[in-house]
Amino acid sequence: MNKTLIVLLAVLFSQVALADVHSIKAFLADPVAVLDEQGKQQRELARKDAPTQPLPVLQYNPALDLVQVELAGQKVWLDTMDVRIEPALNVVDLQCEELIKSKKKDSNNKSTIGFGAGCNQ
């Protein structure tokens, strides 16, 4: 009974662990920009020279939306827009929000935006 439970739990957690591993399934851009951790371009990688096998994502930088991978034994950063990552790091649907409207020609707003603490100045 205990053994069965252990096996079941192991299978369950391995699935979760597997699902959490993001990997690059395809390179969309050609060439792909190879970046440093600040997003500065270091070099370019032609799509034909890119790995064809899924490439595990080592790290994700949400502040810059970059992923770290290992290419030819070297850790580099790639733009998430240049690759297809599965499972997706962020899921954002098309909002289909209302189109911006103009204001009447006599509309008024006598204020200036205040920066406050949010700007860290």
Partner 1 sequence: MSKKPPLFTRRRCCLALLIGLLAILDPFGLASSSDKASAEWFNRMLSSSYPSIGQQQVAVVLIDDAYLMRNNTSWPMPYGEQSKLFKRLLAYKPKAVFVDLLYSHDHSLGDPAQGSQLLANVFERYQRQGIPLFLANTGVRRGADGQPNTLAPFAKVSQPAVVVWDGVDDAYPLAFSAPLRVMETPAMALYREFCKTQVCERLPRNAQAAVDSPPIAVQWGLNLAPEQARIKDIGDCAPAPHVLPRWMTQLAQAVFWRIDDSALARCPYSLTVSASDLEVSAPEDQALIAQLLRDRLVLVGASITSTGDVVQSAVHGQIPGVYLHAMALDNLVTRGMDYDREPASLARFNISWLDGLELGLLALIAVLKALHIRQLAQQPVLVRRKSWEARLFSSPYPSWVLVLLVLAAVCGLLRYNHYTAVNVLGITLLSLLLLSDRFEAYFSQPSRPTQGTQG
Which residues of the shown chain bind partner 1 in the complex (CB under 8 A)?
28-29, 33, 35, 38-41, 44, 63-65, 79, 81-82, 84, 88, 90-105, 107, 109, 111-113, 115, 118-121
CA atoms within 13 A on the CB side of 60: 15
Quote the least distance from Cβ 36 to partner 1, whole Å. Answer: 8
| 33 vs 57, beta carbon nearer partner 1 | 33
Q: Closest approach of Cβ 18 to partner 1, in Å?
A: 21
Element (H, E) at 20: helix 2-20
- Phi and psi angles of residue 14, each rounded to the nearest 5 degrees, phi first: -65, -35
Is residue 83 exposed (0-12), middle (13-18) or buried (19+ Cβ within 10 Å)?
A: buried
Judged by beta carbon, residue 3 or residue 104, the one nearer partner 1 is: 104
Q: Least distance to partner 1 from the beta carbon of 54, Å?
A: 16
CB of 10 to partner 1, least distance (A): 32
Nearest to 33 by CA among 24, 42, 25: 42
Q: Both tokens of residue 119? A: 């700007």
**Smaller CB separation from partner 1, 14 or 59:** 59
